Structure 1
């Protein structure tokens, strides 16, 4: 499945209005450069910030700004230095309760729902309320009409990316299990914290 080739300005305005109606703060920015500057404006100096495993963050430079910029207490660069055998609880606490989580989403529906996927599930607690605030950078190409299309995008786009990352880190792809409510799929609602 491929994302829509183009999304009109009117569609983006409708999506932003639907997100606001669902309790999210939503802004439309012109490009990745504006998004990068806006994230810097939103993040307090010295905040404990967790970045998600996101191509959007990597390609935009936001990931590097946060994790290598020295302005924040970046969590992701600390994790490889913690021995998993003895520090699993510390890792779990770090990723579950940052001050701010910055990530993208797998899709955003025209009805104002953000859909996030995580291969291991480790990213979900921060997004579901563990973080004081969440900032999601969402490219216009991720706008889809409804939840079923969003879940197809996860299966056909997000999970292959997660498998490729797991292959690079662990030397083998992750095993995905499907059930009536697919593991790793979460619909975030207006109850989720936002900046």
Structure 2
């Protein structure tokens, strides 16, 4: 079942000021600074446009893996990967068909080197840094190096003025909502155990950030 931000926002206390939709000038500045740091950036108006962008970026026959992302669920990518009409190699389908726990965990580790790894982010500093965290690291482990190509999708509500504010957003918005989700989905609390500050992409064309002019994810 698709999980939406609204499923958790009423049960978790968050800092709404770090989750507002920014002005166009703020978005433009963030795009300019992201691009100056080596990230490819695509700005789209809607969730449907975001899904079409992902579809157009991934060639037929490519191996595709995704880390958990409420944003990917909200734009319909998870459903499309599992049920859609595409010619990709869906690594999640292969992984979760494995019965043996050790073999499945090994396959999850190997999937970090997918040709295309997709996921979300918890905050974007207007100055051009990306901030994300995870309990296990499976959601963000591919971002720095392992995956051949990385596609990150984010609502523009995650843009905040500075790196310090991005780290605050992680603590005051993303974590409370993810903690609620984890307790409902898995019966355990989440944790900011593995944290990534993605300051720069040095390999041209490797990492693309798709910014959606909607309030998505957390």
**Matched-pair contact (CA < 8 Å) for 1:119–1:162:** no
The question of 1:98 aligning with 2:114 is answered yes
2:39, 2:81 → 1: CA distance? 23
Q: CA deviation at 1:70?
A: 4.8
What is the DSSP-based 3-state SS (H/G/I as helix, E as strand, rest coil) of the residue aligned with 2:34?
A: helix
Count of matched residue positions in the alignment of Structure 1 and Structure 2? 188
5+ unaligned residues in a row in structure 2: which ranges? 1-14, 209-218
Higher fraction of strand: 2
Aligned to 2:101: 84
CA deviation digits over 1:15-74, x for unaligned, max 9?
000000000111211111111111111011121111121111111112212232252212
Alignment pair present for 1:16 and 2:31: yes
| TM-score, L = length of structure 2 | 0.78
The structure with higher relative contact order (CA 8 Å, sep 6+) is: 2
When structure 1 is superposed on structure 2, of 184-193 and 106-115 the one drifting more is: 184-193
Q: CA deviation at 1:114?
A: 1.1
Contact kept, 8 Å, 2:115 with 2:148, in 1: the verdict is: yes
- Structure 1 unaligned blocks of 5 or more: 177-181
- For 1:86 and 1:39, the matched residues in 2 are separated by 29
* CA deviation after TM superposition for structure 1 residue 85, in Å: 3.3
Q: 1:25 to 1:54 in 2, by over 3 A?
A: same
| Distance in 2, Cα, partners of 1:165 & 1:6 | 23
After superposing on structure 2, the runs of 4+ consecutive aligned residues of structure 1 that deviate more than 6 Å are none
Distance 1:138 1:52, change over 3 A: same
